[in-house]
Amino acid sequence: MSQVTVECVQGNIADQPDMDAIVNAANAQLMPGAGVAGAIHSAAGPGLAQECRPLAPIRCGQAVISSAHALPNRHVIHCLGPVYGVDEPSDQLLASCYREALMLAEQNSLSSVAFPAISTGVFGYPLREAAEVTAQAIADTLPRLKSVKQVRLVLFRSGDYRTFRHAFSQAGLVPAG
């Protein structure tokens, strides 16, 4: 049995004060953007973009870690997801984001990480497919985690929450219902 608690919640990724790290659905330049990147950078303040500048550009499927500035968390982990239909193989690149982010949390001795649904906004990844790939990627990575004890998926919209909840229960990560 895994010692890691996995959960899906509906909410705002920039408002997860109980988590050690939140994950940004970033662009390659790690600059403020729309959606998740906009919410995170505006809550963190301009110091986040400043710290990120020398870390960019990142490649698709990669994760990098920064401090969290004015956010209530310890760190932000920035992932560049695939643009659906452009970056291939999209499922492997999306899975790589979750795996790399969790391993970075592990290397930094963090115990809790909150993710948004990477690539499902501006980058156009169909939600149900993304939910299945995400659930599988997290399930595959759980056995490698020692420090990380809590993984949370934060879905902005109620329909997205239900889709992720279903995929995560199908993968045995959260109770059915």
Q: Contact residues for ligand AR6 (CB under 6 A)? A: 12-14, 25, 27, 33-37, 39, 81, 116-123, 154, 156-157, 160
Element (H, E) at 115: strand 112-115
The residues, ordered by sequence, that sit 6+ positions from 76 with a Cβ below 8 Å of its Cβ are 21, 22, 23, 24, 40, 44, 48, 65, 66, 67, 68
Q: Would you say 110 and 96 are in contact if contact means Cβ atoms under 8 Å apart? A: no
Q: Which is nearer to ligand AR6, 33 or 61 (CB)?
A: 33
Give exposure, 117-133, as e/b (b: 16+ Cβ within 10 Å). bbbbbebebebebbbbb
Distance in Å, CB of 38 to ligand AR6, minimum:
7
How does DSSP classify residue 81? Answer: P
Q: Which is nearer to ligand AR6, 75 or 107 (CB)?
A: 75
Q: Which is nearer to ligand AR6, 37 or 110 (CB)?
A: 37
Distance in Å, CB of 1 to ligand AR6, minimum:
29
Strand ranges inside 19-101, DSSP E:
21-25, 63-67, 75-79
Instruction: Return d(Cα 88, Cα 154) in angstroms, integer.
Output: 25
Q: Which is nearer to ligand AR6, 88 or 109 (CB)?
A: 88
Distance in Å, CB of 143 to ligand AR6, minimum:
26
Distance in Å, CB of 32 to ligand AR6, minimum:
7
Q: Which is nearer to ligand AR6, 1 or 31 (CB)?
A: 31
Distance in Å, CB of 74 to ligand AR6, minimum:
19
Instruction: Return d(Cα 108, Cα 27) in angstroms, integer.
Output: 23
